[in-house]
Amino acid sequence: MKHQQFLPALALAVSIMMVGLSWLLPLSALAQTNSPETSTSAELRQAIKERIEETIKENNNTTERSYYGYIGEITQISTATFGLMTPQGEEKTIQISGDTALLSADKDISLTDLIIGSGVTVMGQPVDELVIAAKRVLARTDNFTENREIKLGSLVSITTSEITLQDRQTQQSMTWSFTRQTVFEDANGQKIAVTNLEEDQAALIITDLDNNDERYIKRVRLLVEVAE
């Protein structure tokens, strides 16, 4: 009889203990959430996230700076590429994608509008030694002579008769004179005045040799929008 009275009491005690534990466990978890160690872990995760975002941004900036300029004549045209022969006799394959801007006479064109044998200017990123992924293609009606050179870099100084450019690839500064026949263009191919040029602007410069074998600027194209 005594055993029968003891069993309900024992069950009641166990139930009270279980309820107490059910309250203690959430409080323990809450204490861990607010502990200094957990707070430090959250701060560490945030710092890692911020560093990853900075690295991605740095890589994007590096990608933007890795564009190079090429000139030459079109040797062949296919559905998504065309061949380019540079003035130095190098053959390149130019890849065209949906992001490539093709222009001629300041108007948008398609790959089928290009003409074999015509001159072209390409700004893009090397995939390897022979293949260039084009970002912008400027088609011309004239052919490039073997004396013409193309340079891509930042404008260092602009005077009334000369322009100095820091070459993006070699980091060397070069100065050339320009004439009344020199063409100045903005990033969209629209003609502008030399007074629109500013120091530190990214630009593509095409030079040629005059009758005295002196190199002069034939064309300047900015690679950034001109502030109005």
Query: Any residues with CB less than 8 A from the CB of 80 and at least 6 apart, and which?
Result: 95, 96, 97, 111
Contact 144, 84 (CB under 8 A): no
C-alpha–C-alpha distance, residues 13 and 32, integer Å:
29
Instruction: Report whether pLDDT(195) > 90.
Output: yes
Q: Which domain holds residue 35?
A: 2-65
Contact 189, 139 (CB under 8 A): no
Structure tokens at 16: 């009270």
pTM above 0.85, yes or no: no
- Shared domain check, 131 and 79: yes
- Shared domain check, 130 and 100: yes
The predicted-structure confidence for 40-78, as pLDDT tens digits, reads as follows: 667 666 666 666 566 555 555 544 447 888 888 888 899
Write the DSSP assignment of 183-200 as a string of letters.
EEE-TTS-B--GGG--TT
Write the CATH number for 155.
2.40.50.140
- 144 domain-assigned: no
User: Which among 186, 182, 180, 189 has a CA at the least distance from the CA of 219?
Assistant: 182
- 162 domain-assigned: yes
What average pLDDT does this structure show over 19-37? Answer: 46
- 6 domain-assigned: yes
- 227 domain-assigned: no
- Shared domain check, 156 and 126: no
Number of domains in the chain: 3
Burial of 63 (C-beta count, 10 Å sphere; 0-12/13-18/19+): exposed
Final residue in a domain of this structure, among 139, 162, 185: 139
Instruction: Report whether pLDDT(151) > 80.
Output: yes
- 228 domain-assigned: no
The confidence score (pLDDT) of residue 31 equals: 46
The confidence score (pLDDT) of residue 41 equals: 66
The confidence score (pLDDT) of residue 45 equals: 66
The confidence score (pLDDT) of residue 134 equals: 95
**Which of 12-16, 123-127, 183-187 is predicted least confidently?**
12-16
